[in-house]
Chains A and B, each alone.
Chain A
Amino acid sequence: MQVKRRSFVCVLFFGLFWGAGGFAQAQPIRVVTTIPDLADITKQIGKELVEVESLTRGVEFMHAVPVKPSFVPKLNRANILVAMGLDLEISWLPALLEPASNPKIMPGQPGHVDCSAGITVLDVPKSVDRAEGDVHPKGNPHYNLDPFNGKVIARNIADGLGRNFPQHKAVFEKNLTAYLAELEKAVARWQTLATPLKGTKFVAYHSDWAYFASRFGLQQIGSIELKPGIEPTPNHLVGLVQKMQQEKVQVIIYGPQSDRYPKQLAGQTGAAVVRLQSTGGATAETDTYIKFIDYNVRSLLGALKKN
């Protein structure tokens, strides 16, 4: 009787441990990303092994994301944090990481994946002085707007996932290869589609289009902002209108800023106005990285065509 009871207890313990082990294995890898583009690419590489959530929705101005305490529990539970880096998230992410109490995902730790590693950075300032506005000392952080950089992002994410969960490395590499092939096809399509954009002169509200312009051959003539992060003065706008007329600027690009100045300038110069997305995820049309780039290329072509 006693032997039976012992056996029963042993079986029960074994069952519990086995069950717990199985449960632990079934737990997906919790990944938190700062922007939806990174969430989409992480999903493509991690597939069913990961549970991904982006902190921002894709509609925010990346330099003015509200520091929401609701982000803190998400960061607290994350196995991996995937961020753009280059100080894109400087105004809100460090303030959230401190109360999140998760040493694994702090900068420099294996769980903190910085997607900017290996990016050829544009607009690196020669001197860092706030007289030049809210400059980014490390250079322009909006590199996700160039689909070629999408490949670097994907590589970094796959490396980050593999570094933290080496047992799944082969799966991540396989999924990465498939995703890169898909992205490659899309890039070839965009390069053909965007041929008419080559040489297009544009004015941007904020200087976040450098990578997009460089890839598709657009030429930025000026910015609505006086300096990065500084609203324009009337004199600056008068000068900008003259410059736009001289240079025959075709389009004004803005993002999550007010449309007041873009529309005003368009009225004065006859240039087209288009609101593009600087990150994906805002709508169903931009809910994947590929759809997001596609949306920007098509929206810009559409605006130029209408004009």
Chain B
Amino acid sequence: MVFSVVQTSLVTVSVIITFLLILPERGLAQNGEIDSLRALVKGMEQQLQKALQRIDQLEKEKGTTATRVDQVEKSVRAVQSAPSALNPAIGMAIDATAEQRSKAGGTFNFRSAEIGIAASIDPYARGYAFFNGSGDGVEVEEAAMVTTSLPWNLQARGGRFFADFGRLAKFHPHEYAFVNTPLSLERIVGGESQADGAELSYLFPTPFFLRGTVGGYNKLGAENERLDDTNSRAWSRFTYLGRLNTYFDLSDNHSIELGTSLAYTPSIRIPSDPHGGSRTLSGLDLTYRYQPLSSTLHQGVTVGAELFGNSERVERDSGFRRMFAPGGYAYVEAKLNRQWSAGFLYDNAPSLTSPGKKTQSYSPFLTWNLSEFNRLRFQYTYGNDNVNESKADGGNQFFLQWTTTMGAHSHGFANR
């Protein structure tokens, strides 16, 4: 029993001594592990720090590279677009009709393929040209320079262009509201007011629009064969023009535009007529527009009318005699919706040699604008022709017109 007590005590003491001896060693071992762990963590921390620094560096490099790539791409784009950026705007209009005339028969009429080019020339001028190819060949319809920075509200134009006479004479035929050039315009003015010469326009400093134009040309009228366009001539054989044009808003939606033009040629040389004599071409144009601002896309009415008068010596059976030939046209066009419009044209065209004889025509027309650049038009014309210049002018006539435009094609302010 005593032994067991002593034994137990010895065992207890041994355990305590052993514990006391072992404990510091274990404590020492733990401290070593912690230290090594600390070192490990520190090492990892340093590595992480380095990795983060590297990431930052790479990010910066990436940003710089992206900026550089962006800069390079921009320069490449600039180089690629630079040559085309200086190119003029180019467009083309194609105009063709299928026609059936009771007195002349039917035809597919390729009327025009018109290439238009326009661009600024420098800070002082702009240039534009229209080349027109048709069944009659290719011609320079217009090629002109226009100033853009003359002082005192002046603007000058030179070259070949549609002179500022009347309203419709300045339109290219594919831009009409109807199919054909009115016969009155064709006979009296000579179709488009094409002229080789120079013009000066002045915008009056009035609160309303008032513009005046003076011009001098070889001749006026694309189809005017009575005057020469190429040879040199005396001052008296040029054609001189004056025009005043004004416009008033009657309200936000209604407006009226008025113009008066006079083209004077002091002396026309007529073979076999020693007197020659002057030619006076006068015109009065009036346009009324209803353009409801909130619905111009699908509503609107335009009424346009022009009166022309031509006074010159012409050859008649009784010899040469000065004749005054008055004529004109009037039309109305109404938008039915965004794509469809309908209208009616009345035309009264005298014979220049016998103004008592006239061709009167009546033309209802219907237009379908598939888009702003693609248009189909149907027109019926009844011609009551007492002039008998051409079989095509009288009787029943049917037209189906297809007109398209490609690229940048604009005839600007004159064709509004």
Contact = CB atoms under 8 A, between A and B. Distances in A.
A288 to B, nearest CB: 20
10 contacts: A60-B294, A65-B296, A66-B293, A73-B208, A98-B155, A98-B413, A101-B155, A134-B371, A258-B297, A258-B338
A98 B339 CA distance: 29
Given A77-B205, A94-B412, 19 more contacts: A61-B297, A64-B296, A66-B291, A66-B293, A67-B413, A68-B255, A70-B247, A70-B255, A72-B211, A95-B412, A98-B126, A101-B150, A101-B154, A106-B149, A134-B372, A229-B371, A231-B338, A257-B297, A258-B295
Contact of A76 (B203, B247, B339): B203
The 3 lowest CB-CB distance pairs between A and B, nearest first, are A103-B149, A69-B247, A69-B209
B406 A70 contact: no
Contacts, number: 98
Nearest to A108: B123
Contacts of A230: 370-371
Contacts of B298: 257-258
Contacts of A258: 295, 297-298, 337-338
Contacts of A72: 203, 209, 211
Contacts of A56: 293
B416 interface: yes
B207 interface: yes
A73 B370 CA distance: 35
B278 interface: no
Contacts of A270: none
A64 B150 contact: no
B18 interface: no
Interface in A63-97: 64-70, 72-73, 76-77, 94-96
Contacts of A66: 289, 291, 293, 296, 416
B203 A100 contact: yes
A76 B153 contact: yes
A166 interface: no
Given A59-B294, A229-B372, A68 B249 contact: yes
A69 B338 CA distance: 23
Given A101-B203, A229-B372, A258-B295, A68 B406 contact: no
A298 interface: no
Nearest to A206: B297
Contacts of A96: 413
Nearest to A59: B294
A217 interface: no
A61 B371 contact: no
Contacts of B294: 59-60, 256, 282
Contact of B297 (A64, A101, A130): A64
A130 B205 CA distance: 41
Interface residues of B, number: 44
B371 A133 contact: yes
Interface in B359-394: 370-373
A99 interface: yes
Contacts of A95: 410, 412-413, 416
A263 interface: no
Given A96-B413, A106-B148, A258-B295, A130 B337 contact: no
Contacts of A101: 150, 153-155, 203
B248 interface: yes
Interface of A: 56-57, 59-61, 64-70, 72-73, 76-77, 94-96, 98-101, 103, 106, 130, 133-134, 229-231, 256-258, 282
B209 A231 contact: no
Contacts of B371: 133-134, 229-230
Contacts of B318: none
B146 A70 contact: no
B99 interface: no
A80 B249 CA distance: 24
A57 B252 CA distance: 9
Contacts of B315: none
A122 B118 CA distance: 29
Given A73-B203, A134-B372, A99 B155 contact: yes
B126 A59 contact: no
B207 A67 contact: no
A142 B339 CA distance: 24
A144 to B, nearest CB: 18
Nearest to B126: A98
A76 B211 CA distance: 12
B416 A130 contact: no
B298 to A, nearest CB: 5
Nearest to A96: B413
Nearest to B248: A70
Contact of A70 (B126, B209, B211, B337): B209
Nearest to B154: A101
Contact of A99 (B123, B205, B249, B413): B413
Contacts of B413: 67, 95-96, 98-99
Residue of A73, A77, A257, A282 most packed against chain B (CB within 10 A): A73
A120 B412 CA distance: 31
Contacts of B209: 69-70, 72-73
B314 to A, nearest CB: 37
Nearest to B405: A130
| Interface hub of B126, B255, B298, B406 (most chain A Cβ within 10 A) | B298
B297 A256 contact: yes
A206 B372 CA distance: 15
